[in-house]
């Protein structure tokens, strides 16, 4: 089990995406959060509804994740839950939640997680690239269509956006 998350995050302009997203399966995700008083630990619940290119559900899963403090690299522990377990705990998280669609795009360097946010974060598109090692992460050269890197900008963490909404820079 991998217990470290190593990733970089970028803003995206949807018109620059070199893929036809209508030809890709995707996930409809809802995530909710609880954080420790000292903000050293974040508890996340995630419901993933898998959909095909026509938007027809093909399956679903529920997860509980504990994340440590950090940006590019941090501790992460995730387990799959039953629907009943998720529903019981969701009451703790639903007030601090967000909704997004995720497209996974396989590349030679790994998988791009392209997120299109919904509701109060509508208009925001980001992508994350996860890595197996910190060296691979540091050596990675972003592709031409990637926008501004926001890995170290805590305003763009999902927890922060669930609490504060869109970061000021892109607020409409």
Known catalytic residues are: 33
125: which DSSP letter?
E
Burial classification of residue 80, based on how many CB atoms lie within 10 Å of its CB (0-12 exposed, 13-18 middle, 19 or more buried): exposed
| Partners of 53 in the β-ladder | none
The strand ranges marked E within the chain are 4-11, 26-35, 41-51, 57-68, 73-81, 97-107, 110-117, 125-130
Closest by CA to 26, choosing from 99, 129, 120, is 99
Residue pair 96/76 in contact (Cβ under 8 Å)? The answer is no
């Amino acid at each position: 089990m991998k217990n470290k998350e190593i990733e970089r995050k970028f803003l995206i302009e949807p018109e620059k995406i070199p893929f036809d997203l209508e030809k890709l399966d995707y996930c409809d995700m809802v995530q909710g959060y609880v954080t420790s008083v000292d903000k050293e630990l974040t508890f996340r619940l995630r419901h993933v509804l898998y959909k095909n290119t026509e938007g027809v559900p093909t399956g679903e899963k529920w997860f509980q994740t504990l994340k440590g403090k950090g940006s590019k690299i941090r501790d992460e522990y995730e387990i799959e839950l039953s629907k009943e377990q998720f529903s019981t705990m969701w009451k703790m998280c639903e007030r601090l939640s967000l909704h997004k669609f995720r497209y996974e795009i396989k590349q030679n360097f790994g998988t791009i997680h392209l997120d299109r946010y919904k509701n109060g974060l509508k208009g925001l598109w980001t992508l994350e690239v996860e890595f197996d090692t910190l060296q691979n992460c540091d050596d990675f050269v972003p592709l031409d269509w990637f926008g501004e890197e926001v890995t170290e900008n805590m305003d763009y963490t999902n927890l922060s956006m669930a609490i504060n909404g869109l970061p000021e820079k892109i607020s409409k």
